[in-house]
Amino acid sequence: MSAAGPVAARAGWGGRVRRYRAELDAAQKPGDGVPAYTRWVNRRGARLVAALAAASGLTPNAVSALSFLLSALGMVVLLVCRPAAWVGLPVAVLLALGYLFDSADGQVSRVTHAASRTGEWIDHVADAFRSPAIHLSLAVTTVLHSGRPWFALVAVVHAWVTSGQFLSQILAEQFVRAAGRKQTRGGTLRSIVLLPTDPGALCWSFLLYGLGAPFRVIYTLLAVIALAHSMLSLTRRYRDLRALDAAAREG
């Protein structure tokens, strides 16, 4: 191979990254009302990850698998390590990276035109297992290492709320989309207000894990906010779907 060969290959890969990144920047879903971290940090970072993955030949399912693996590694660290000041850093970083790659798999499918029902199913099933598993891992490690059953109960309740809210959101969005209605999410203020419900906020809260009381306070506050938000969201979703049912009967 000539000396120009490796240079051309690197230029070709870099060119694909830039092209994919430009395509993704031009084809983003509206961010109105999406929680702040997801809207302004995770989605932007995911576009770069997706461009790098697509240029490297990774499939959307491979990115989904990497996402799940990173999150699982974060939970393993949480489970096997006793609370210490350093433990929160790898846990938070791994969970945040898992969430970043979770946002990237759909973008890889979009830019490579590889979208499929199977891929979407894998993505949602992985989320359905992962989201409550983070809280359940915290509950288990609390019982094993901290001896605070009340805090373990908070984590279990948080897992329960997360699981129910995820199912409600997925089903409601599918029903609204099938009815040909637009999703109404609000604007920038809503994005900021919903920051405490953002999965990214949960991931980075683990930076405080090794500090004990500060983490328990922040996590409990996030759990209370998640419960309150879920109650409001369920009420709104119920009303929206009742309105769709009424419109369908009248039609």
Tens digits of per-residue pLDDT, 86-143?
A: 999 999 999 999 999 999 999 999 999 998 999 999 999 999 999 999 999 999 999 9
Which CATH number is 4-250's, of 3.40.50.1860, 2.60.120.10, 1.20.120.1760, 3.40.50.300?
A: 1.20.120.1760
Position 30 scores a pLDDT of 79
Position 114 scores a pLDDT of 92
- Mean pLDDT, to the nearest integer, of 199-227? 97
Distance CA 9, CA 4 (A): 9
Residue 11's pLDDT band (boundaries 50, 70, 90)? low
What's at 179, amino acid-wise?
A
Percent above pLDDT 70 for the chain: 95
Q: Express each pLDDT in 218-227 by its tens digit.
A: 999 999 999 9
List Cβ neighbours of 159 (8 Å cut-off, separation of 6 or more).
132, 133, 134, 135, 136, 139
SS3 content of the chain, % helix, strand, coil (to 5): 80, 0, 20
**Residues 229, 221, 92: CA angle, nearest 5 degrees:** 100
